[in-house]
Chain A
Amino acid sequence: MMSTIEASGLSKRYESSQALDQVNFRATSRQVTSIVGVNGSGKTTLLRILAGLDLPSEGKVLVDTREVGPDELRAHCTMVFQKSVMFSGTVYDSVAYGLRVSRAADGGIREKVTSALALVNLDGFEKRKARKLSSGEQQRVALARALALERQVLLVDEPTANLDPANAMIIERAIKESAISRVVLLSTHNLPQARRLSDRVIHLYRGRVVEEAESSLFFTNPHDERTRLFIDGELQF
């Protein structure tokens, strides 16, 4: 069954700035949708609202065409952050945490943790201390932890920033594979990565969607001047 997540008129205002301004888009499962934009364009704010971590000042979020609030959003979505954070304890404990709090059966937890770790090439890492791993390995654990939950929507915020190419490649492959069964929204300012992974691309500029298109069209024939400048690396914020 096809899943969707939709932003309808989402705005977010802070005291002195407008982080998001009437953002509308729809992302579906079996696709990687990338949200690209320069630093400060509102990508992380958007993802945090979709994850149910922040409230929008205006607008709504719909999952499978039904409006949902932040509590329910957290049951549908999970998020991988740019800076991976590890619980103390083993890799197994870290990946199993979400399954435990959602009261999954013990046998199911082991199976899901093992297969999630395999997806990010961390087979056999279960007993290692999570905080002793390299930053690349920690980011892979963070992705495995999100995948193990098997939520409808996976939100990934700059997952490979500051990672070496080997770790970045493993993460990209796992993101692509995970999109088979869920909606994947990837926030990145890494355009080659967006090009490699995305089926659709959304360009956020100063909190507004200025272009949304199929990946091939977005990169080869952008309609918006700001998108063209962004792709050419000439856009100033």
Chain B
Amino acid sequence: MDPITEGVIRAINLIVTGDREVFAITALSLYISISSTLLSCIWSIPISAALALRSFPGKRTVKGLFNALIGIPTVALGLYMYLLLSRSGPLGYFQFLYTPNGIIIGQCILVTPIIVSFSTSALESVDPDLRTLAKTLGASGFQIEAVVLREAFWGVTLAIIAAFNRAFAELGVAMMLGGNIRNLTRVLTTAIALETAKGEIALSIALSFILLGIVMSLSIAINLARRPS
């Protein structure tokens, strides 16, 4: 049997039998990526609303900056964050390096440009006449913004899902800020890298199946839930 087929069979076996380590790694990955995505929504969505619905000097530059940061290499971001969070760095006092919180902080920064850029596009694509209409129907400025957000709900949701997928599937930040410490900061991507380097193809394949399965299931679920308005 070739190593890939053997790996696939072992992978299925590990998943079906509920291997403790595989599931612990998956749970930690989910915890970290969900936390970083939700946390970054707290500032990213208001920033998107401001960029899409308000006028201010330098708006185009700010939008351009967020767009450019979408493709930031995770290893480079991981390195800069490492320098900030390391013991001798300006944020070393908080001792976030090599902790799940450290990875969460790094991933928050990683996914912020994704949520901001995609949500801004979604909000800008809402028919501007809807804002005029809401105004004539007596809506306040805040209520008009709420209308636009509601109309762009699926676009913003897709931005959040894209951000989660990016956080869940990235390696650089998790490796450099988490250190891939067993039972503490080992997540799916760092575990796949490690097991592949060790020649443990079956475990790598099992972990990659889970990684792909979660990312694809989420996207399929969102598409199924999306109903034409």
Contacts and interface: CB of A to CB of B under 8 A. Distances in A.
A98 interface: yes
A78 interface: yes
Contact of A88 (B129, B132, B136, B229): B229
B143 interface: yes
Interface string A46-77: 00000111000000000000000000001101
Interface of B is mostly: helix
Given A88-B150, A129-B229, A101 B138 contact: yes
Nearest to B150: A88
A52 B138 CA distance: 11
Nearest to A145: B137
B136 A78 contact: yes
Which of the listed residues A83, A101, A129, A149 has the most CB atoms from chain B within 10 Å of its own CB? A101
B180 to A, nearest CB: 45
Which of the listed residues B129, B133, B135, B228 has the most CB atoms from chain A within 10 Å of its own CB? B133
Given A85-B130, A88-B150, A102 B136 contact: no
A146 B134 CA distance: 11
Given A74-B136, A79-B136, A101-B140, A89 B229 contact: yes
A195 interface: no
Interface of A: 51-53, 74-75, 77-79, 81, 83, 85, 87-89, 97-98, 101-102, 129, 131, 145-146, 149
A19 B205 CA distance: 69
B132 to A, nearest CB: 6
B200 interface: no
Given A85-B127, A87-B130, A101 B139 contact: yes
Given A101-B139, A101-B140, A101-B143, A85 B229 contact: no
A101 B129 contact: no
A53 B147 contact: no
Contacts of B139: 97-98, 101
* Interface residue tally on B, bucketed by range: 10 to 19
Given A78-B136, A97-B137, A149-B137, A131 B130 contact: no
Contacts of A87: 130, 133, 147, 150-151
A148 B118 CA distance: 36
23 contacts: A51-B136, A52-B136, A53-B136, A74-B136, A78-B136, A79-B136, A81-B129, A81-B132, A81-B133, A85-B130, A87-B150, A87-B151, A88-B150, A88-B229, A97-B139, A98-B137, A101-B134, A101-B137, A101-B138, A101-B140, A129-B228, A129-B229, A149-B138
B130 to A, nearest CB: 6
Which of the listed residues A53, A79, A87, A131 has the most CB atoms from chain B within 10 Å of its own CB? A87
B134 A97 contact: yes
Contact of A85 (B133, B140, B150): B133
Given A85-B127, A87-B150, 10 more contacts: A74-B135, A75-B138, A77-B136, A81-B133, A87-B130, A89-B229, A97-B134, A98-B138, A101-B143, A149-B138
